[in-house]
């Protein structure tokens, strides 16, 4: 049975907990019970968290890679 964690992972106590994608139909309807599916990236266990608590998205998936400002400035001066 999965547990409900408030801030940290209820299994290992780690604070590296991110939103997890639902895999089954039952997990997709968690919002009815005001729960969100979370995954701990230390122990890789999934658990539920109340929907009203803030949750983090995994930083590796959602970061936009940008070029340093110096590289962009050099490229612009070369084009002229």
Give the helix ranges, DSSP H, for 1-80: 25-28, 59-62, 69-79
Tell the residue number behind the tokens 């990236």, with chain if given.
41
Lowest mean pLDDT among 1-10, 24-33, 47-56: 1-10
E strands present in 1-80: 17-19, 35-40, 46-50
Answering whether pTM is above 0.75, one says no
Q: For residue 37, which phi and psi values (nearest 5 degrees)?
A: -85, 130
Tell the residue number behind the tokens 């968690």, with chain if given.
30
**Chain centroid, CA 5 distance in Å:** 15
**pLDDT per position as a tens digit, 38-74:** 888 888 888 888 888 777 666 665 555 565 556 555 5
């Amino acid at each position: 049975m999965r547990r409900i964690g408030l801030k940290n992972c209820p299994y290992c106590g780690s604070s590296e907990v991110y939103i997890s994608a639902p895999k089954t139909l039952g997990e997709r309807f968690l919002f009815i019970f005001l729960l969100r599916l979370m995954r701990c990236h230390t122990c890789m266990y999934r658990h539920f968290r109340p929907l009203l608590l803030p949750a983090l998205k995994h930083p590796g998936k959602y970061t936009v890679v940008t070029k340093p400002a110096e590289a962009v400035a050099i490229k612009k001066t070369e084009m002229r």
